[in-house]
Structure 1
C-alpha cells in the first residue's frame, strides 16, 4: 500500500483544481471533494461564459490592483505561480488565448469556459487525483489544534493530516458556493471578516424598464456619497442597463465601495453618474458644440447627442439636461448648452437601492488574512489546515485578477500541504 501522505481538498473550483494537481505532483495521494457533479462551476460563468483566464500585466501590476493588505498577502504566491505559468498549462494542451486591449486574457474562439473546465479536469485526473463528486462536506475535524480530517454530509469521516479548504465565497449559490466553508472555519476558531458584495450588479431605486439591455460603451461610471456628494469610486468601460438597475464592467468595478458604504449608517444612499464622453473635457466638448451650432444653426440638440449615446437613450439624456430635442442652434441658450454638456459628462442615473451579494462574481470578506501564513497558505489557528482562493478575505477588481489569485494561492497551498505531510 502506498506510503505517500494523504491530502484532502475541499472544493473543486479554480483554487482547488490547481491545489490538487500541485499536491499530486509534490508526491501526495490526493482526494478532491466536490459537492457538484463537475469541477469548476464558477469558472463556467467567468467572463460571461467566455472565461477571463487571467490578466496580462506583470505579477507586480496584478498585485497592485488589490487593496494594500491583500496585495501584500498575495505577493509570495503571485511570484510562486504566475499568470504565464498558468497559461502554459493551457497552451501546452492546445488551448490558445488572446489579450484584449484592457489586458484581460480569454480563450480564442470558439473555445470558451466549458473547454477550459474540461481541460483542467483532465489536468487533475492525469496526475492520479481521486475526484469524489456529489460529496458535500459538513465540517472539519480538529483535535488539540491539529486537523484530523473532514466530516461528510452522509455521516462518514475522511481522515487526513492535511486538509485544504477552497470552497469559494457565497456569490452565485446555484454554482455551489454557498458560504459553507466560512461556517466550518468559524466553528474551529477562525475570524470571518464581514461579507460584502464585490463585482456585483447594482439595483437602482428608480428603474427604467425600457432601458433594459441597452449598453453605454467606453464610459466612466462614478459612484458618489449621495447626490452631488464626494466621489467614492469610478471605473472605465461599458455599462449595461438591466431590468433592475445596472451591470457590466463599470458597475462591477464600483460595486464593492458602494456596498461597503451603504452597509453602514449613512444619511443618503450612494448615487451613480456616467461620463458618456470621458476622452474629452467639458471645455473641449462645449467649445466643439458651440462651434457646430454656430456653423450649422439648424442643427438640433438631439443630433448633437446621437453620436454619443444609443438611440433609446437620446430622449432620456436630453430630458435629464432639461433640453428639448428639437432645440436648434439659432435658439440654443448658452445656459442650456452648458447643461447639456454637463449631463453628457455626468449623467445622473439615480440612487443605489441594493448591491446583491449573491449576484457578485466574487465576495469581499472571508477568513482574516492575519490568520493565514502567506508563504504556505497554512492556517495559524489549526495545524495542517490550508486555505486558498475566495474563502480568504480577498477581492480584486474585474479583469481576471481574482482567478489569478485563486490559481496562485491554490498552487502554494497544494505544494505546502504535500511537502509538510511527507516530512
Structure 2
C-alpha cells in the first residue's frame, strides 16, 4: 500500500512517454497509460472503434489494477481531476493512431457527467487535438444519474454537441427499457451477465435475439462485449448484434489494430454460425418428423370425415404432443382441445383457466396464417410460449378442405420436454 502523502508527492500531471510515442500520467508512484480494445462491426468485418481503458505500473514496473489509482485519487479528493486527465490521456493517444474514421469509446464516471463544466472541457480538449466530437462515443453507465430530469438534460446537451451516446451495461440489476426510451442513446451495450447467463441457459439464449430486435426497433445499435471464446461470439452473431468486442477478437493494446486483422476471423465465424444453425435445424427436423407425418395422416382422415378425436388419436400417442385442436377458416376454434390420455401436470393445473379454448380466436397466430396461405402443407412455428400452460411449445398446423369448408388442424408439441432430452 502506497503512503497517502509520500515525500516529494506531486499532483497528477501528464507526461510524455518513451521517445514521445505514448502519453502517460504519473500519479502517486504509478505510471498510468492507455490501452485500446477494438470494437468490431460484424457486417463491416473490421474495427470501427476503440474502447479506451487505463493500465498502471508501479515504480518497479509491475502492473497493478487501475482501480487502485482511482482509489488513491478518491482518498486525496483528486477523483474528478484524475478522471479528466485519463480522458485527456486517451484522447491524445487515440489521436496518435492517425485514424480517420474510427470512434473512440470513453467510459464516463457518473460524477463527471453531473459536472456542468464537463462537456465544455471535453470539447476544448478535442479542439486542441483537431478531433471532432462525432468521433467520440461517451459510455454512460446504465445506473448513472437515476431518473433525474437533470441527468437526461446533460445527456441531451452532450448529444447536441456532437457526441454519440452509449448506454453501458444494459440488462444488469434493475435495467429498464424506459431508460433507453428516455435517454435515447445511439448505442446500447449489453451487460456481460446476459452473455454469461445465455451461455448456461438455453431459454435465455433463445430470447436474446428478441431483446436485440426490440432495441433495434427503438432506434439503437447494439454492442455485445466480453466475448472470450467462439461460443460467446456465435451467440452474439446469432443475436444479430451490430458490434462485438472481447479478447476472442483482440486483446487491449497500446497500438491500433491492422486494418483487415478481423476479416478472416469474422468470415470463419459466419461459416461456423451457418453450420451451427444447419445442425440445429436438422436436429429439430429429425425430432419433429414423426409429428409431421402423424399430422399429415390426421388431416387425411379429417378430410375423409373423421372426427377430430379419431383423426388425432395416433398423433396424441407421441410423447410430446400436448394437445390437438381445430380451427375454422376465420381462425375460430371448433370445439375444445383434444388432450392425450396422460396425467395432467401440475403446471397444467396451475394454468387451468387457460386450458379450455372452444370459441377462441387464433386468427393472428402464425400457425393459422401460414397454414391458410399454403393448404395441404404442414407448417411449424419456432418455439414460443404457449398460452395454454405457459410453457415452450411448437405448433404444427395444416389446412385441409372438409365437408364443412376449409379447416386448420393444429397440434401443440411440448418443446421444453423435447429439448430437455436432446
Indicate the structure whose relative CO is greater, using CA pairs within 8 Å and at least 6 residues apart. 1
Tell me which interval the TM-score lies in, with the shorter structure as reference length: under 0.3
For normalisation by structure 2, the TM-score amounts to: 0.27
For normalisation by structure 1, the TM-score amounts to: 0.27
Pick the structure with greater CA Rg. Answer: 2
